[in-house]
């Protein structure tokens, strides 16, 4: 397999006495994770016997998918080591002759995750997508590395320039005795020009700067600045004649009492996602709040005779209970905001999402949906909570899609 100079440096890092940490950041698909995880295991097996190591990602599932499974498919490892993984205990055991080490898998999803790793004594830790983990979890993992000669391994895609990991580690590699390597797509010789072009076409705006250029860029301005008036919209009558017959239908709901309540009628044929109709009730403008029963009546009228799944914000407990009591097929929406925004931006950029010109409020809100620049300057990334109700409903649907829709 061809290797770039930076990938070679990853393999050499463990044997550079002047460094105790390795930091790799930059573009997606640049070969950071695969080479780092292989180097991590080979170093552990050459340096220790009977020790514990940690492999951490934003979730156990992400670590298994992005690190454990690819490692277990590496021909060199299969040929020279006995590698097994116990899903019940989330531990990978690597043996060679009488030598054996254990690699425990952890998910650093939120602040409570720090307690999961307490009590372990580690000889090394690999933190994949460290910028997505709470600082408390990362610091607890680092504190567990008390074996002589232990080393720290970090990789991530960039976030905002005020992110704590950038401020503490990336800007201070000498102080941290860290080898810092910044990656672009060109640092992965395994990617063809065609594949690079495909990845570049998937992102725009802030996500292009971070995931393609590898920049720690500030989130500011319009979030969906890649929205195109011609490519992302269609007029009534321009949709395919068989659209309703070949598409899966979902109604996505952003529930509100004092805030607007929005329903989006979404038709998805597996290639194109069309938002065909919208419903909106704004109690402030109408000077009257509707009850859950009235909203359920409106949803029944909006849906018509053809039943379909309804995606609802899980915080709308009373409304969900009302819908279920009437026999609606209700699913709780995934309300991950930043991941949902990234995925929605990807599908808008790829022109997968197309919106009827009759969905005027969705059009207006998508065009006006803004990053909170003040929050970004303090290292917190979030949209301004204004003009966000229809975009939230669309995000609920996008978050329900399988991962292959974003590849």
Q: Is residue 203 part of a domain?
A: no
Please give the distance of CA 274 from its chain centroid, rounded to a whole number. Answer: 23
Reported pTM: 0.84
Residue 110 shares a structural domain with residue 169: yes
β-bridge partners, 26: 183
pLDDT in tens, 80-122: 999 999 999 999 999 999 999 999 999 987 777 777 788 899 9
Cα separation, 400 vs 340, in Å, equals: 9
pLDDT at 1: 65
Choose the final residue of a domain: 134, 168, 191.
Answer: 191
Q: Which residues of the chain have pLDDT under 70?
A: 1
Q: What is the pLDDT of residue 123?
A: 97
Give 257-260's long-range contacts (Cβ < 8 A, gap of 24+): 257/283, 257/289, 257/290, 258/283, 258/284, 258/289, 259/283, 259/389, 260/389
Q: What is the pLDDT of residue 316?
A: 94
251 and 142 both lie in a single domain: no
Q: Is residue 329 part of a domain?
A: yes
Q: What is the pLDDT of residue 375?
A: 87
pLDDT given for residue 322 in this prediction: 96
334 inside domain: yes
Question: 252 and 126 in one domain?
Answer: no
Q: Are residues 158 and 276 in the same domain?
A: no
167: domain CATH number? 3.40.50.300
Give Cβ neighbours of residue 35 (< 8 Å, ≥ 6 apart).
3, 7, 10, 11
352: CATH: 3.30.420.280
Question: What is the average pLDDT value for the chain, to the nearest integer?
Answer: 94
Q: Residue 204's pLDDT is what?
A: 86
The pLDDT of residue 359 is 97
My answer on whether 184 and 240 are in the same domain is no
Strands 261-268, 248-254: pairing is antiparallel
- State percent of the chain over pLDDT 70: 100
Tell me how many domains the chain contains: 2
Structural domain containing residue 149: 5-191
Residues 132 and 277 in one domain: no
Q: What angle do CA 111, 333, 207 make, to 5 degrees?
A: 70
Q: Are residues 174 and 244 in the same domain?
A: no
């Amino acid at each position: 397999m061809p290797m770039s100079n930076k990938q070679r440096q990853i393999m050499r890092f463990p044997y550079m006495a002047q460094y105790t940490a390795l930091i790799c950041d930059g573009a997606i698909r640049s070969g950071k994770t695969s080479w780092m995880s292989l180097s991590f295991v080979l170093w552990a097996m050459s340096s220790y016997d009977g020790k514990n190591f940690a492999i951490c990602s934003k979730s156990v599932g992400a670590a298994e998918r992005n690190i454990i499974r690819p490692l277990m498919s590496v021909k060199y490892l299969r040929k020279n080591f006995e590698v097994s993984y116990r899903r019940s205990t989330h531990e990978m055991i690597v043996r060679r002759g009488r030598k054996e080490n254990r690699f425990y898998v952890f998910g650093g999803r939120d602040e409570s995750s720090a307690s999961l790793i307490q009590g372990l004594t580690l000889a090394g830790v690999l933190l994949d997508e460290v910028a997505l983990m709470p600082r408390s979890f990362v610091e607890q993992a680092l504190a567990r590395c008390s074996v002589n000669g232990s080393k720290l391994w970090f990789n991530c895609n960039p976030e905002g320039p005020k992110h704590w990991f950038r401020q503490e580690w990336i800007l201070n590699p000498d102080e941290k005795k860290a080898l810092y390597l910044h990656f672009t797509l060109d640092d992965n010789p395994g990617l063809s020009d065609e594949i690079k072009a495909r990845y570049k076409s998937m992102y725009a705006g802030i996500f292009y700067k971070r995931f393609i250029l590898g920049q720690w860029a500030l989130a500011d301005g319009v979030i969906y600045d890649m929205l195109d008036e011609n490519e992302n919209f269609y007029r009534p009558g321009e949709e395919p004649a068989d659209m309703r017959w070949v598409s899966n239908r979902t109604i996505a709901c952003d529930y509100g009492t004092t805030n607007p309540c929005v329903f989006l009628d979404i038709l998805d044929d597996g290639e194109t996602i069309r938002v065909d109709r919208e419903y909106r009730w704004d109690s402030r403008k109408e000077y009257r709040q509707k009850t859950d029963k009235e909203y359920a009546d409106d949803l029944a009228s909006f849906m018509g005779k053809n039943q379909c799944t309804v995606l609802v914000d899980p915080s709308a407990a009373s409304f969900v209970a009302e819908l279920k009591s009437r026999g609606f097929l209700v699913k709780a929406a995934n309300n991950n905001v930043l991941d949902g925004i990234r995925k929605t931006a990807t599908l808008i950029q790829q022109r997968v999402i197309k919106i009827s010109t009759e969905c005027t409020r969705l059009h207006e809100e998508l065009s006006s949906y803004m990053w909170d620049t003040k929050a970004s300057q303090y290292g917190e990334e979030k949209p301004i909570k204004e003009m966000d109700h229809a975009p939230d409903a669309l995000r609920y649907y996008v978050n329900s899609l399988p991962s292959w829709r974003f590849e």
